[in-house]
Structure 1
Amino acid sequence: MRIVDVNEFYAPAGGGVRTYIDRKMSILSEMGHELIVVAPGRADAVEERPGGGRIHYVKAPVLPFDANYGLFWDAAPITGLLDAIDPDVVECCSPWRPAWIVGDWQGRAVKSFFMHNDNVAAYPQRWFESVASPGRIEDAFAWYSRYMGRFLAKYDTVLTNGPALQKRLGARGVRIDAAMPLGIERQYFSPAFRDPALRRALLAQCDLPEDSLLLLGLGRHHPEKRWPMVIDAVERAGARIPVGMVQIGIGGDSKRMEKRIAGSPHIRLFRPVYDRERLARIMASCDALIHGSEAEPFGLVASEAMASGLPLIVPDTGGCAEVADPRSSERYTARSAESCAAAITRLYARDRPMLRRAAEVAATKVRSDREHAAELITYYEALVAAKRASARVA
């Protein structure tokens, strides 16, 4: 099967989308399928991948506030590539210009719109939360759901990357045909990588003794991640129990983050760790992952932490809540530092050996990226067969 992904969010220096697509391209090649990405670039170019698959960069203007990414506008270069490649399936995930370009293309392929995020939760819900209730904000932005409905009608199927997004969008009346939960590279994460010496060293950097609770915060410094709320919660809990946090990340809010924790004795910021083995050791050596974003569509970082044998402290809505195992996790009311602090305190009070065993059992159940790819291919094969059968009858 040949799949083309018209992806406005793919960039050489990109983050999660690039990682997901590169890994998916490799897995599909091993399965005997081909994934070709059409992405915006500074110039027209083709990048062949040694393991199979390729990237077609189409010259496009850069995103005004992030030059790492581009914006598709002209349809002809994209539809010309689709005509030439003649895929079995064409995917799209951008709700802007690409959604219409792919939706209006008249090729024989199955057209699949793959939802990877919730723009209403990520932006308006956060921008206006101090002046309106979530329900009022939802009502005010109902036009966006109606807008999506117009281009989604042009697609053969509409997918999400997990049940959280399926529930959230479905509740707004957005058409969703199936959820295809993502997976992680399981081989990189394991409780076996736990290093007591590393844990002691991290606690020492937080100026805490060995019997303290060591939390890990992992993610970019962006308002959507709600790190200030998490920091407030850790400091509140710290008034009652010995707890510290190491936060690994970088982003537009890094300066504000540094200013926020200045003088905090038990919270430390670290630059991103790109070495997978080193990150896996750090992750497995902490006591729990703490996460603040209720807008997270799937929760890959939560899945990686679970595969490392970590308990979770996560909001009660969103992708992280969906993947969290209740026997080894604590949930709190989203956006509430007070509720989050109470969840930290509850986790600290639990029986450590029992909690560790529950977390290690949960680690064995984390979905892999290969399982995701296999389920997606099976789903697409059925759609392709049905569409071709229908074309023969017509």
Structure 2
Amino acid sequence: MKIVDVCAFYSPRGGGVKTYVGQKLAIAERLEQDITILAPGDDDALVEFGPRARIQTIASPRFPLDRKYWYFNDERALHAALDRLAPDFVEASSPWRSPLMVANWRPEVPKALVMHADPLSAYAYRWLEPLVSRETIDRRFARYWHHLRQLGRLYDAVVCASEDLALRMKAGGVGNVVTVQMGVEAQRFSASKRSEKMRASLLAQCDLDPDATLLVAAGRLAPEKRLPMLVEAVTMAGLHRQLGLAIFGEGREDANILRSIGGNPHIRLFRPERDRERFAAILASADAFLHGCEAETFCMVAAEASASGIPVIVPDRGGAADFARGGMGLSYRAADHVDLVRAILALPDGLPARSGRRAARAMDDHFAALFAIYQRLGSSGLSAAA
């Protein structure tokens, strides 16, 4: 099957979507699918990753709020690229304007919308929920819900990576919703990658001895990730036990995060670790993974941490919440730094949870399930919900 993924969120310097795209390109080859990632970029370009896998960019403007990203603004150019690629199936991966552009291209070609973002949680709920109820916010954002319901009618499938998001979409009247849980690189992330030497080195860089507890956070440094809240909670919890926090990431919030760290020598902000093997060793060598964002559609890094055999401390809402279930971690009330302190201090000494159990399927299984849905929709002409 010839698949085109119109991926508005792709950036060579991106976070979870970049990781997802890289795995998709590699696994599609193994599953004998032909796939093109069609993304906005500085210019028109083509990068081949194999005989059946490639990234093609369309010259587009930079996104003003985060200049690591671009956005599609030329529907004719997007349609012309799709005409040249002539896919059997089209995937769109943004809930904003570009899926309407994609839907306008050859309605007879089957299409799926993959929810790689949850704008209501990332923006509306985060900004307004301290003041009014979620039900009130949803009423105020009725126009956006109307947009999502329109996409549910235009697309043969609306793919969510977690039950939390899928249930909210269905409750909001969005049609054709299916859940295809994402996964991890099965051979890369494992408790066997643990290194006491790496753990001691990270704690030393946090000005702590090896008998302290090492927490790790990682990802894009954006407001919805709530890194300053993590810093505040670890600082408060650190008054009661020796804690080090190593944060790996980059983004527009770096200056704000550094200000929140202030003079605390036990919290360090590192550049993102792009060597995937070394990053797997960092996760396995930590004592727990810490996450602040309740707006995740899945939370790849929490899945990777869980697969690495360490407990996760995550909000009780959003995709990340899945990885605290079944004894694999601890949850706290989303956006509540005091309850986060409680969860951090609830970590047991000795951390016996290093079982290596996986909270997520292997990524190969995720793409096999996703492509099977696409194959069925392409051959049957039915919606995913049929």
Residue 378 of structure 2 corresponds to residue 384 of structure 1: yes
Equivalent residue number for residue 48 of structure 2: 48
Q: Provide the rounded CA distance (Å) in 2 between the counterparts of 1:155 and 1:213.
A: 47
Partner of 1:372: 366
What is residue 392 of structure 1 aligned with on the other side? none
Please report the TM-score for the alignment, with normalisation by the length of structure 2.
0.92
Give the paired residue count.
382
Matches within 5 A, 1:1-394: 1-106=1-106, 108-348=108-348, 352-353=351-352, 355-356=353-354, 359-360=355-356, 362-363=357-358, 366-387=360-381
> Which has the larger displacement, 241-250 or 117-126?
241-250
Runs of 5+ unmatched residues, structure 1: 389-394
Write the letter of the residue equivalent to 1:352.
Answer: L
Query: Using the alignment, how far apart are the partners of 2:220 and 2:202 within structure 1?
Result: 20
CA deviation profile, 1:213-266 (whole Å, cap 9, x unmatched): 211111222211111211222122222222221111222111121121122242
Could you tell me whether the CA contact under 8 Å between 1:184 and 1:304 is conserved in 2? yes
Which ranges of structure 2 fall in alignment gaps of 5 or more residues?
none
What SS class does the counterpart of residue 69 from structure 1 fall into? coil
- C-alpha displacement of 1:43: 3.0
Please state how far the C-alpha of 1:3 moved relative to its aligned partner.
Answer: 0.6
- Letter of the structure 2 residue corresponding to residue 379 of structure 1: I
Instruction: Give the distance between the partners of 1:28 and 1:272, measured in 2 at CA.
Output: 26
TM-superposed CA distance for 1:138, in Å, is 2.7
CA separation in 1, counterparts of 2:268 and 2:203? Answer: 10
CA contact (8 A) 2:206 2:245 kept: yes
Cα distance in 2 between the residues matched to 1:68 and 1:235: 30
Q: Deviations over 1:116-173 (max 9, x none)?
A: 1110110122223443333332332132111221233122221112222212322322
More helix by share: 1
Task: Find the residue that maps to 1:49 and give its secondary structure.
Answer: strand
| Corresponding letter in the other structure for 1:370 | D
CA distance in 2, matches of 1:41, 1:175: 31
The answer to whether the Cα contact below 8 Å between 1:213 and 1:348 also exists between their aligned partners in 2 is no
- TM-score computed with the length of structure 1 as normaliser: 0.90
- C-alpha deviations, 1:315-362, integer Å up to 9, x for none? 11111111334313111111111111111111135x633x23xx32x2
CA 97–268 in structure 1, closer or farther in 2 if over 3 Å, else same: closer
Q: Is the 8 A contact 2:66 2:252 kept in 1?
A: no
Give the conservation status (yes or no) of the 8 Å contact 1:166–1:176. Answer: no
Report the alpha carbon displacement of residue 176 of structure 1 after superposing the two structures with TM: 4.5
Contact 1:26 1:51 (8 Å CA) reproduced: no
Change in CA separation of 1:223 and 1:336 when aligned onto 2, cut-off 3 Å: same
> How far apart, in 2, do the equivalents of 1:162 and 1:152 lie?
17
Q: What's the RMSD between the two structures over aligned residues?
A: 2.1
- Per-residue deviation, residues 281-322 of structure 1 (Å, max 9, x unmatched): 211111000111111110100111011111111111111111
In 1: Cα distance, 2:83 partner to 2:33 partner: 19
Compared with structure 1, are the counterparts of its residues 222 and 76 closer, same or farther at alpha carbon in structure 2 (3 Å cutoff)? closer
Distance 2:61 2:205 in 1: 45
CA distance in 1, matches of 2:56, 2:202: 43
Partner residue in 2 for 1:391: none
The one-character-per-residue Cα deviations of 1:33-81 (angstroms, maximum 9, x if unpaired) are 1011222233333333235222332233332333443322332222233
| Amino acid paired to 1:75 | E
The one-letter code of the counterpart of 1:347 is L
Highest RCO, 1 vs 2 (Cα 8 Å, sep ≥ 6) = 2
